Amino acid sequence: MAGKRLYIETMGCQMNVLDSELVVGQLLGKGFSLTNEMTTADLVLLNTCSVRDHAEAKALSRLGSLKKPKNANPDMIVGVIGCMAERDPDGITLKMPHVDLICGPGELNKIPAMIDEIEETRERSVALSQSLSRRSTPLERANEYDSVEALDLSRSAGIDGNPLQAYVRVQRGCDKFCTFCVVPFTRGAERSRPPQLIVDECRMLVDRGVKEITLLGQTVNSYVNQDDGKAVRFAELLERIDAIAGLERLRFVTSYPGDFTDDIFHAMRDLRTACEYLHLPVQSGSDPVLKRMRRQYSVGQYIDLVDKARDIVPGITLASDFIVGFCGETDEEHAESLKLIERCTFKNIFVFKYSERPGTVAAKRVTDDVPDDVKRRRNMEMLQVQENIAIQTNRGLIGQTVQVLVEGYSKRAIKAQVAETERGQEISSEVTGQLVGRTRTDRIVVFSGETDLVGRLIDVQISGATALTLHGEVAGASGSSCGTGGLVSINVS
């Protein structure tokens, strides 16, 4: 495979971003190099998402645009990996017969061998994990964890190209079967990785300069595996990772409200690296809707959990996910969600318009009966309520000094840099000097500063605020710097 160029595009969630990193790591080890030119690459991989109809339509459109280049260069290998590959392999081959490789998210370690096979036979290669058994318990299944990560010693650290931050998977799959969700079908049963492998990987990343690690799992707080015959649960895993010297910050996503235990809050309060931020998707503020979604908690239980988080972990911020327009959702039920947003004062929320996914319980048993314009209106209303809350909360921070990990240039500065370089103009130092950092509570702070601050923990005094961003001035350094080594760039959309 030496000398061949790989183009990879990633759609969807952080799980997919990490999966792409792992695939890239394996293929770089096989002699591929990365390219940003899709149409002239030797291997094109689309890492797909099935959570919404829109994401699948986008993947199909990208695949459609590859027909011409593939005709011009029949040796080009076109691959679909990730959730859509697992969910609908037949649909993909029917609509896009030029696809050579189809690989589900649980089979990614087979990709190098699949490419060898395609080059040899010129036949399509398919790897899916459709028969993952759920008869055993999560603890028993953890012993069968099929680790793509273990193969990946050549992986570069970095989230979205940032060498200071990295994702580490602790768990695959999900056992919850929320009625709207396709994940249990595409990513299979819940399996947790052995704790020692996770700790070793975190240590390796910290040795490479990573300061902040985000642990990933579909329901990360239900993590369980065995060590020396003893069950290791999530709070203990956090404790073991926290002991790694040089690690500054530890985060985790996504937590399932129904499984959250107090020991995790205690770990968040007591551990040096555990950040005071929790992403806790609720999906709806109405009990009947939660029931139809088969979320295994009530609104009251969710509120109790939020209150407990604030009682135990001082200064914690919370984020949540909502679905608007789920089957049968009435205006009154939607109003309950707005009330919950007001009650919980989230730092931010992610709102999704319900989109029916084939194969899910909701697709089989309930009707997607909320008109699209109503979903759109509810979506806007929700974002408006949240925006008002976020502006007020953020304004309350003006005058305070916060510690940030400096991540790099702000998006605005990068855009200006690209545009002005393309126009052959000099870049204004006022814009390029705009750095961006993140607080332990996951707030974004933009401020002026020199590049040598990147990778450092510094104090910034807040002088302005919008709903999503804080602005401030450097008040002082509070930590060590770190190297910014080479990166693997992955196209994320």
Q: Which parts of 442-481 interact with ligand SF4 (CB under 6 A)?
A: none
Nearer to ligand SF4, 43 or 216 (CB): 216
Give the nearest distance from C-beta 243 to ligand SF4 in angstroms. Answer: 29
Regarding 106 and contact with ligand SF4 (CB under 6 A), the answer is: no
Regarding 344 and contact with ligand SF4 (CB under 6 A), the answer is: no
**Which amino acid type is present at position 206?**
V
Regarding 218 and contact with ligand SF4 (CB under 6 A), the answer is: yes
Q: Binding residue for ligand SF4 (CB under 6 A) from 181, 268, 341, 454?
A: 181
Q: Binding residue for ligand SF4 (CB under 6 A) from 5, 134, 176, 240?
A: 176
Regarding 134 and contact with ligand SF4 (CB under 6 A), the answer is: no
Q: Which stretch binds ligand SF4 (CB under 6 A): 175-183, 260-268, 297-305, 378-386?
A: 175-183
Nearer to ligand SF4, 285 or 449 (CB): 285
Regarding 177 and contact with ligand SF4 (CB under 6 A), the answer is: yes
Nearer to ligand SF4, 83 or 406 (CB): 83
Half-sphere exposure of 31 (CA within 13 A, CB side): 7
Q: What is the 3-state secondary structure (H, E, C) of the chain?
A: CCCCEEEEEECCCHHHHHHHHHHHHHHHHCCCEECCCCCCCCEEEEEECCCCHHHHHHHHHHHHCCHHHHHHCCCCEEEEEEHHHHHCHHHHHHHCCCCCEEECHHHHHHHHHHHHHHHHHCCCEEECCCCCCCCCCHHHHHCCCCCCHHHCCCCCCCECCECCEEEEECEECCCCCCCCCCHHHHCCCCEECCHHHHHHHHHHHHHCCCCEEEEECCCHHHCEEEECCEEEEHHHHHHHHHCCCCCCEEEEECCCHHHCCHHHHHHHHHCCCECCEEECCCECCCHHHHHHHCCCCCHHHHHHHHHHHHHHCCCCEEEEEEEECCCCCCHHHHHHHHHHHHHHCCCEEEEEECCCCCCCHHHHHCCCCCCHHHHHHHHHHHHHHHHHHHHHHHHCCCCCEEEEEEEEECHHHHHHHHHHHHCCCCCCHHHHCEEEEEECCCCEEEEECCHHHCCCEEEEEEEEECCCEEEEEEEEECCCCCCCCCCCCCEEC
Regarding 183 and contact with ligand SF4 (CB under 6 A), the answer is: yes
Regarding 320 and contact with ligand SF4 (CB under 6 A), the answer is: no
Nearer to ligand SF4, 301 or 484 (CB): 301
Nearer to ligand SF4, 126 or 306 (CB): 306
Q: Binding residue for ligand SF4 (CB under 6 A) from 38, 63, 178, 220?
A: 178
Nearer to ligand SF4, 85 or 181 (CB): 181
Q: Which stretch binds ligand SF4 (CB under 6 A): 162-170, 172-180, 192-200, 337-345?
A: 172-180
Nearer to ligand SF4, 184 or 194 (CB): 184
Nearer to ligand SF4, 53 or 430 (CB): 53
Q: Which stretch binds ligand SF4 (CB under 6 A): 30-38, 170-178, 244-252, 364-372?
A: 170-178
Give the nearest distance from C-beta 176 to ligand SF4 in angstroms. Answer: 4
Give the nearest distance from C-beta 353 to ligand SF4 in angstroms. Answer: 15
Q: Binding residue for ligand SF4 (CB under 6 A) from 186, 219, 255, 320?
A: 219
Total residues binding ligand SF4 (CB under 6 A)? 10
Q: Binding residue for ligand SF4 (CB under 6 A) from 256, 265, 346, 354?
A: 256
The Cα 77–Cα 98 span in angstroms is 9
Q: Which stretch binds ligand SF4 (CB under 6 A): 37-45, 132-140, 174-182, 272-280?
A: 174-182
Residues that bind ligand SF4 (CB under 6 A): 174, 176-178, 181, 183-184, 218-219, 256
